[in-house]
A and B are shown apart, each in its own frame.
Chain A
Amino acid sequence: MPKLPKLPAPPLPNALLPTPPRPGESTKRGPVDQAKEAGITAVDWVDERTSLSGGLRWMMFRKVPKGTNWFYTLGSATMFAFLSQAMTGVFLAMYYRPDATGGAYESVRYLTNEVFMGEFVRGMHRWGSSVMVILVFLHMARTFFFGAYKYPRELNWVIGVVLLILTMTMSFTGYLLPFDQRSYWATIVGVNINGTGPHVGPFLSDFLRGGAEFGATTLSRFYAIHMMLVPGAIGALIGAHLYLVARLGTTAPPWLKADTSEELREERV
């Protein structure tokens, strides 16, 4: 395969370029300039030791194809839904108690009814979970209908499918945590659906429940999976997903045809 010419580094946008003083303008430096200078010095200090700006420029100032439209924001929207879930989830964990003998339900009741803004934060987490699932599917549909899963982006599609499964795992494990009748029976049904998988299903069910019966450790298991295991995996895979997006670039919408140069265009008769 012939070596492709190296593309030039993406340029800094005009707004970020330093402007020289206009002719005749005073070169006296006011406090604003000094503050600016201090900021630049601080950023430079970090950049000199980490070279972060190169990576940031590579990530942020990419070339996007002609025809890029609002559908291309669904992936970022999903990521922000995840960040919102992570943020509210961490704060909900400050009040939540995974105690199967009644403490879990009581702690959720307390944080919803008594804690300042508790109903709001729990509502964000509860409704945000549905928003995230909907956005995941819209993002997936966009990728599918625009043909953005094709070469060379197949691996990113595969990572996306794993992220979808992990999102479903989050929905399943999170549903038990309020520990009311609905959570309890939905989990019984869900674990039993797991169990219908041939050969491994029964052992997977035992693993999820922490035994043959729904017991004291089932709730803490689900809690650990919900707040430690899966979010970590989702975060890491979002990183890989984004890296591949930046590395491979986005696709043009399917209704845009690539421009061929005048000489290569065949004469139409």
Chain B
Amino acid sequence: MANGHRKTPKSKYTVDRKIPGAFEGETVSRRRFMTLTAHGAGAVAASAFALPALGFAAGSAIFERPEVFWERIGKPEDFPTETYIPVVRTETKGVGEIGKTTVYVRAYNEDIDVPKYQDFVAISTRCMHLGCPVRYVDASKKFICPCHGGVYDFEGKVDGGPPVRPLDRFYVRVRDGFVELGPRYSVNGELKRFPSYRDPGQDLDGIGQYLYPGRFSTPKID
């Protein structure tokens, strides 16, 4: 300070600070204590409704595991190795048409498919650019997206356009002589399997696999 007057540090006792009605040995005045208590009670009351409401809105959407179900789509001999057969899978139950999606299925082809995960290849029609539905064109043996020009080859790998990774696939198993379609999984550029499937537009090669973490709600496949 300019006049050389030094402020002495304040005592922690309310008595020394000359607060009216202070008790001996008291460090927090009763007025201050009441203020803090009222604010604390307000914060508790607000979080008592805000936190459950937030958890209600976000919790099951982000953390709940969806039910795993398998759908019969035909007999093993229905699916050739050279082309795809379109089948309809119900991805979300109870919402009618919008819960359904087309899946292209063929049998494992040892000349093309390098990593053998299963005896059938089931390719999703969800474009990996932004999620429009692709269709398989047999004449060119390619998957083509109507929205922004994404093109995928016979294996579902990106051939051109904006998509960031190959088309998603589905788990396939054979039970009691029937081919059954299970949950979706994602693959990266080398067709490595990512059981926690990512949304379209999320790259899985290089830095992408760290930028876009798998979801907590990944279904458990036995």
Contacts and interface: CB of A to CB of B under 8 A. Distances in A.
Given A202-B202, A207-B57, A211-B66, A192 B211 contact: no
Given A211-B66, A212-B66, A198 B212 contact: yes
A199 interface: yes
Given A189-B132, A210-B61, A216 B94 contact: yes
Measured as residues with beta carbon below 8 angstroms from the partner, the interface class of chain A is: 20 to 34
A54 interface: no
Contacts of A211: 60-61, 64, 66, 217
What is the interface of chain B mostly: helix, strand, loop, or mixed?
A: loop
Interface in A179-209: 184-185, 188-189, 191-193, 195-196, 198-199, 201-203, 205-207, 209
B58 interface: yes
Interface string B178-202: 0000000000000000000111111
Contacts of B66: 211-213
Contacts of B98: 100, 184, 214
Interface string A90-106: 00000000001110000
A266 B4 CA distance: 45
Given A199-B213, A203-B62, A188 B92 contact: no
Given A192-B131, A206-B62, A215 B199 contact: no
Across the A-B interface, the 8 shortest Cβ-Cβ residue pairs: A195-B199, A198-B211, A196-B201, A101-B96, A189-B130, A188-B131, A215-B92, A192-B131
Contacts of B58: 207
Given A100-B96, A184-B98, A210-B61, A192 B200 contact: yes
Contact of A212 (B95, B201, B215): B215
Contact of B92 (A189, A198, A203, A213): A213
Contact of A196 (B95, B147, B202): B202
A217 B56 CA distance: 13
A205 B131 CA distance: 13
Nearest to A188: B131
A202 B212 contact: yes
A206 B199 CA distance: 10
Interface residues of B, number: 29
B217 A215 contact: no
A214 B92 contact: yes
A154 B62 CA distance: 37
Contacts of B132: 185, 188-189
A227 to B, nearest CB: 15
A202 B208 CA distance: 12
B99 interface: yes
B64 to A, nearest CB: 7
Interface string B61-94: 1101010000000000000000000000001101
A169 to B, nearest CB: 15
A207 B62 CA distance: 6
Interface string A10-22: 0000000000000
A71 B92 CA distance: 51
A192 B213 contact: no
A102 B94 CA distance: 11
B62 A195 contact: no
A185 B92 CA distance: 16
11 contacts: A100-B96, A189-B131, A192-B199, A195-B201, A202-B199, A205-B199, A210-B60, A212-B215, A212-B217, A213-B66, A213-B99
Contacts of A191: 131, 199
A260 B98 CA distance: 69
Given A185-B147, A188-B132, A205-B199, 5 more contacts: A185-B132, A188-B131, A192-B200, A199-B212, A217-B61
A100 to B, nearest CB: 5
Interface string A125-156: 00000000000000000000000000000000
Contacts of A101: 94-96
B200 A195 contact: yes
A210 B132 CA distance: 20
Contact of B212 (A201, A206, A213): A201
A195 B202 CA distance: 7
